[in-house]
Amino acid sequence: MLEFRTSGFNPYSVKYSPFFDSRLAVGGGANFGLVGNGRLYALNLTANGIICEKFFETQDCLFDLTWSEQHENQLLTAGGDGSLKLFDIAVGEFPVAGWQEHGREVFSVHWNLVNKDTFLSSSWDGTVKIWTPEKKESLVTLPVHSCVYSAQFSPHHQDVVTTVSRDSHLRVFDLRTKPSAQNHMTLAIPIHAPPKVPMPGFVNQSTGPTECLTHDWNKYRDSVLATAGVDGVIRTFDLRMPSGPVNVLPGHEYAVRRISWSPHLSDVLLSASYDMTCRVWTDGSNVDQGGNGNGLGREMGRMDRHTEFAMGVDWCLFGAEGWCATCAWDERVLVWDVRDVMRG
Amino acid sequence: MAEAPPDIDLGNTYLYHQLDEYPWDQDQEFQGGLRAILGSVQDPAQVEHLTLRAKCYYFARKAGTAVDFDGYKQWVETQRGNVPVNGTSQAVYDTLSRPEEPITSSQPATSDSGGGMGGMGDAPKPASFAEICDMIHEGKPIPGIKDIPDTILEGQASDTQATKRKKPWERTEEDEAPATPTWLK
């Protein structure tokens, strides 16, 4: 396990470069993001540990970041002051571009993995905005009417966007549809709904709506997503059966702050929680492991080395399938191999 | 969330007066920097915001003393009799509203668009988290906040040299996937 200390700053997000398996970025803020400056670190993994290649200072906390899919030196940050900034780690101390339209904190940013030339932002102001690096103004604004903690482009369709928000809903937007009264929205799924198919052994303890903090698209099954949030439960959804979750993965003692499906294995995902643990799960869909496409999911292992809220988790896209990075409010970034914590 | 404005302490007031009376118009260095910062900004509110920020940054550097931007902005608005209805400036409101939510609201809201600081609920927070919340609520200055200029290095981006790589899920059989990380070789 490798470690990097972000002394004086509490990380909110860690992301692997889509170009190099040795490049990472971490964003966060002083004073837990409540007040004070933000900082963005570009890190290099070396045989001698993690080296800080460069850092940038910002006025306000950075709640999220995403690497550019078109430029290996560039990455975009989500600012507590509502700003988006594009930094170039080969250039200066300031961003090379910036955007300011959101009325409140920007909480997530995501680059389009398919067309690679658009990105999106989601904000506490209840909107998602779609942008391109070349234009000063946003291309599209999607109203969600609830604090949007997480928004993503589908990794399979360049025009499909999903959001999860404070109002306990997973929404699907299709930008190819006409911007009618629905503003491109094609689905709104209540996350707290009971599972569609009763699961043996699962008692629905949901007490109602739960703030949803994070979600991620499965990389191999193009209609499957996972969500997680304040009730500590990870749920998977299949957009072909949108009325309720397909699978439910309880276990975290407090809110789940971030989840990420493996880029290598179709049934595996990682989570980071306010219970300070990061856990690796299977949703039970892997036929080779006894699943039949909709089996029972389970926790396969956990990493419990963080000592404050675990906030960020990401998988390395390249090389062996277990490498990942996590960050937590203990001012640490850890790089480790999931296979070391998995039970047989 | 109407909060009483934090009491403005006298030391800061003196500093704000100094800031206010500084001959900004005659300081060529400042005016040059300000022009660079403002660039093509047109919106009067934005111009005012950036100008105030630049003044704080410049003055703090020249005088070697910290200037609380939010405090100064609030003071300027108070001087002008331009205090919003809830008695506190938007800048202060914004700063306060971020920590306000997780402490008072553990119940999820259903239809508002207000923020929730990531829904911490009843998870036990770090000890220093509460201290910082208290300082904010009591209007105490938070130490160590730097003013970072809003500079954008327009047109200075580096050239891209790396080729785009396929994601693991986009690979075909022929694409080679090396198992050992490059940084371990």
Are B37 and B149 spatial neighbours (Cβ–Cβ below 8 Å)?
Answer: yes
Set of chain A residues whose Cβ sits within 8 Å of the Cβ of B182 = 20-22, 319
Judge whether residue A242 has pLDDT over 80.
Answer: yes
Nearest chain A Cα distance for residue B28, angstroms: 23
pLDDT over 70, % of chain A: 93
User: Which tops the pLDDT comparison, B80 or A256?
Assistant: A256
Between CA B17 and CA B11 the distance in angstroms is 10
Look at residue B115 and tell me whether its pLDDT is greater than 50.
no
Alpha-carbon distance of A192 to A10, in angstroms, equals 30
Do residue A30 and residue B144 have CB atoms under 8 angstroms apart?
yes
User: How confident is residue A293, by pLDDT bands cut at 50, 70 and 90?
Assistant: low
Q: In angstroms, what separates the C-alpha of B54 from chain A's closest C-alpha? A: 12
Shortest distance between the Cα of B141 and any Cα of chain A, in A, equals 10
Comparing A155-159, A331-335, B111-115, the range with the smallest average pLDDT is B111-115
Chain B positions touching A77 (Cβ under 8 A) are none
The whole-angstrom separation of Cα A212 and Cα B48 is: 37
Judging contacts by C-beta atoms under 8 Å, the chain A residues touching residue B94 are 104
Neighboring chain A residues of B121 at a CB cutoff of 8 Å: 230, 254-255, 274
pLDDT value of residue B98: 62
Measured between CB atoms, which of B121, B157, B181 is closest to A230? Answer: B121
Question: Is residue B27 within 8 Å of B35, Cβ to Cβ?
Answer: no
CB atoms within 10 A of CB B173: 4
* A73-91 average pLDDT score: 97
C-alpha distance from A246 to closest chain B C-alpha (Å): 22
Task: Report whether pLDDT(B95) > 60.
Answer: no
Cβ-based contacts of B129 with chain A (< 8 Å): 32, 34
pLDDT digits (tens, 9 = 90+) for A314-337: 999 998 889 999 999 999 999 999
Q: What is the nearest CA distance from B135 to chain A, expressed in angstroms?
A: 10
**Looking at the predicted structure, is the pLDDT value of residue B14 above 80?**
no
The answer to whether A34 contacts B129, with C-beta atoms less than 8 Å apart, is: yes
Q: What percent of chain B has pLDDT over 70?
A: 69
Query: Does position B53 have pLDDT exceeding 70, yes or no?
Result: yes
Closest CA to A67 of A26, A102, A37: A26
Q: What is the mean pLDDT of residues A140-161?
A: 96
Residue A98 parent element (H or E): strand A97-100
Q: Which of A191-200, A253-262, A276-285, B165-174 has the lowest mean pLDDT?
A: A191-200
The whole-chain average pLDDT of chain A stands at 93
pLDDT at A204: 59
User: Which ipTM did the prediction report?
Assistant: 0.89
pLDDT of residue B66: 76
Nearest chain B residue to A88 by CA distance is B157
Q: How far is CA A40 from the centre of its chain?
A: 17
Region of poorest pLDDT, from A73-87, A106-120, B6-20, B58-72: B6-20
Has residue B92 got a pLDDT over 70? no
Q: How confident is the model at residue A274 (pLDDT cuts 50, 70, 90)?
A: very high
Number of Cβ atoms within 10 Å of the Cβ of A135: 10
- CB distance B98–A18 less than 8 Å? no
- pLDDT at B91 exceeding the cut of 60: no
pLDDT band of B77, cuts 50, 70, 90: confident
Residue B122: predicted pLDDT: 77
Select the residue of A116, A229, A318 nearest B164 (Cβ to Cβ): A116
What residue in B sits closest to A116 (Cα-Cα)? B164
CB contact under 8 A, A30 and B133: no
Mean pLDDT computed over B77-86: 55
**CA atoms of A300 and A203, how far apart (whole Å):** 21
Phi and psi based region of residue A243 (left: phi greater than 0; alpha: psi -120 to 50; beta: remaining): alpha
List of chain A residues whose C-beta atoms are within 8 Å of the C-beta of residue B180: 319-320
- What's the token pair of residue A150? 């997480």
- In the predicted structure, residue B125 carries a pLDDT above the cut 70: yes
Instruction: From residue A189, give the alpha-carbon distance in Å to each of A151, B22, B109, B167.
Output: 15, 58, 17, 28
pLDDT given for residue A243 in this prediction: 84
Given an 8 Å threshold on Cβ–Cβ distance, is A32 in contact with B180? no
pLDDT higher than 50, residue B111 = no
| Mean pLDDT of the A166-176 span | 95
Look at residue B82 in the predicted model and tell me its pLDDT. Answer: 47
d(CA B23, CA B54): 14
> Using CA atoms, how far apart are residues A50 and B134, in angstroms rounded to an integer?
35
Residues on chain A touching B184 (C-beta within 8 angstroms): 47
pLDDT reading at A197 higher than 70: no
User: Mapped to the 3 state alphabet, what secondary structure does B47-68 carry?
Assistant: HHHHHHHHHHHHHHHHHCCCCC
The structure tokens listed for A46 are 């070396």
pTM of the entire predicted model: 0.78
- Decide if A260 contacts A279 (C-beta within 8 A): no
| Out of B114, B133, B144, closest to residue A36 by CB | B144
Give, in degrees to the nearest 5, the angle at Cα B131 between B130 and B134: 85
Query: What is the enclosing helix (H) or strand (E) of B96?
Result: helix B90-104
Average pLDDT of the residues in B154-164: 94
Region B135-147: what's the mean pLDDT? 89
Distance from CA of B50 to the nearest CA of A (A): 12
Residues of B in contact with A335 (CB under 8 A): none
